[in-house]
Amino acid sequence: MPGSAAIDFDWGQVEWRFASEANRLAFQNDPQRYAPQYGGFCATAVSNGFTAEIEPDVWHVADGRLFLFNGEGSRADWLAALGSGLVEQGDVNWAKR
């Protein structure tokens, strides 16, 4: 559900919009918990050493972390490779940027 401009919060140089005041409050209290991984870039791309834009409706939550993807193909590749060190490689690559 799209967020409302009337229910927003600035964090990390980004304006975040929310569907409810309760959602905004939860985010304000722990933004790291809810923010997408890798700065909102495609998780598959980051795990392979580069960045790519995303499609906001293509995502996956793993171990409480939100990962975004640039398309269904990238998400399918990610899901097929989960458990093979893909997340760990993405974390390493993101830390190097």
Average pLDDT over residues 23-33: 95
Residues 52 and 67 in one domain: yes
C-alpha torsion 25→30→34→37, nearest 10: 150
pLDDT score for 59? 96
How many structural domains does the chain have? Answer: 2
pLDDT band at 2 (very low <50, low <70, confident <90, very high): confident
Domain containing 19: what range? 4-30
| Domain co-membership, 25 together with 44 | no
Summary mean pLDDT of the chain:
95
One domain for residues 23 and 59:
no
Average pLDDT of the segment spanning 42-62:
96
**pLDDT tens, position by position, 53-90:** 999 999 999 989 999 999 999 999 999 998 899 999 99
